[in-house]
Structure 1
Amino acid sequence: MDLSGRTVVVTGAGRGFGRAFALHAGQSGARLFVSARMQAAATKVADEIAADSGARVDAFACDLADPATVRGFAERVAAHTDQVDVLINNGARYLPGPDLWDADDEAIADTVASGATGTLLTAKHFLPLLRRSQGADIVNLVSSVAEVRNHRSEAHPAFYAAKAAQAGFADVLSHRLRPEGIRVISLYPPDFTDGDPLHPTWEHASRTADDPLTARSVLDCVLFAIGQPRDCFIRSFHFEQL
């Protein structure tokens, strides 16, 4: 999909899907703003993007569990551009451990704050820039753990709670922004393999029903959804699991 002339913001871009999407968006001509919890991680990805595609990219530190840094991230992006066309809400802390006692209180609070509150505040503070776009999309990387009675993951209950809250927010936001023509698209993937988007076989690797879901396949779903005509509102992608 050609993203030339479009401004894209990606949270949690330091690794995994966020990094993969940012690299692809750069190759597709987008103007990019990327964030990670640590400035060094965001800068590293920005340097990769610049070296790979020559795309214009700025990198920022943004701790999604800290409201002040979320506001600051949006303000700093607004100093560089007057609109955002695609917001990828990818950042969220993962917390392992099936038992409540597998994590301390601070880790639990941080997980819920980054996955739930962080997504809400990012959407809130970028909404003025999204409203200036001729066709904005908000994409939320949720998780299959947010699906009702999906108990396959060994994630901590706090991660389940964060993703359930994120899903509820995305659902109501989709309904309330549709009259403005802003699409809210949520993906509910199970665990998937990252791969390396800079590896020459990443795009063309043969994928079968016996293989685990890949970041490339999730990325393809996002590109399909945001590439549809503006009368097409795809609210969510759910993935069948064996």
Structure 2
Amino acid sequence: MRFQGYRIVVTGAGRGFGRSLAIELGRDGAELFLAARDFQAAEAVAETVRHLGGRAHAFECDLADPESVRDFAATLGEVADRIDVLVNNGAPYLDAGGFLEADDAQVAATIGAGATGTVLVTKTLLPLLLRSDRPDIVTMVSGCGEYGNHRSEAHEAFYAAKAAQAGFTEVLSKRLRPKGVRVISLYPPDFDNPDPLGPDWDAERGSGDALSARSVVDCVRFAIGQPRDCFIKSFYFEQV
């Protein structure tokens, strides 16, 4: 198995792309530490990975709550003496139908989880990453974090969170490279996310139409599977 022996943390793992990535990395032999705001959602994905023969642990982590992030890191540190890969996937999507339609709480939660939460979870887990001889930080920024992008229907608060992620990962890449930590950012446009356990997962791959989650998963696999002298900082995707 390609990632046998790897310990990989995935945030936002209870649904959507986080779930798809977790299932595929579990099939690749990685030991997974899956975090989600809803513990039961994370546990359901962990159970799916176990049913497929993989190893997975579930944790509760609300990225919009700094105390929850600290508790997650502390609990993780009790069961793992190192992690090899952190995938910053958790960031709530917001489409409130217009800039003025979202209330203040929605705006604060979107930016707090996607921006502050990403910074804090990276900060709190960095000591465990530095104990690995192959540490990678992968952040699912999305095309909304790409300068000049305006094609998504996402709310402006989501754009703000993703722009913050882009700036954070840019400087983090430069500052952590001397420590041997690779910081990898992905900027996909909106993409299809079929069930990785369903028939459409393989059928949609390479169809030439909309980008699929399977292809984005393969980009993550490719990047973390490269030799340590290969630093792939960013993946940008052409939007059709």
Do Structure 1 and Structure 2 share a fold, with TM-score over 0.5?
Answer: yes
Question: 2:187 matched to which residue of 1?
Answer: 188
> Partner letter of residue 105 of structure 2?
E
Question: 2:233 matched to which residue of 1?
Answer: 235
Question: 1:41 matched to which residue of 2?
Answer: 41
Runs of 4+ in 1 over 3 A off after TM superposition: 203-206
Residue 166 (1) aligns with residue 159 (2): no
Question: 1:27 matched to which residue of 2?
Answer: 27
Q: TM-score, normalised by structure 1?
A: 0.96
Q: How many residues align?
A: 240
The counterpart of 1:213, out of the listed 187, 211, 214, is 211
Which deviations, in whole Å up to 9, do the C-alpha atoms of 1:16-49 show, x marking residues without a partner?
1111111111111111110111111111111111
Question: 1:225 matched to which residue of 2?
Answer: 223
**What CA distance in whole angstroms lies between the structure 2 residues aligned with 1:208 and 1:170?**
31
Question: 2:55 matched to which residue of 1?
Answer: 56
**TM superposition shift of 1:97:** 3.5
**What CA distance in whole angstroms lies between the structure 2 residues aligned with 1:95 and 1:192?**
16
Q: TM-score, normalised by structure 2?
A: 0.97
> Partner letter of residue 122 of structure 1?
V
- Is the 8 Å Cα contact of residues 97 and 154 (structure 1) preserved in structure 2? no
Residue 108 (1) aligns with residue 107 (2): yes
Q: Cα gap change, 1:76/1:62 in structure 2, threshold over 3 Å: closer, same or farther?
A: same
> Partner letter of residue 210 of structure 2?
P
- Is the 8 Å Cα contact of residues 110 and 158 (structure 2) preserved in structure 1? yes
SS at match of 1:231: coil
**What CA distance in whole angstroms lies between the structure 1 residues aligned with 2:78 and 2:158?**
33
> Partner letter of residue 60 of structure 1?
F
Identity %: 58
Calculate the aligned-residue CA RMSD, in Å.
Answer: 1.3
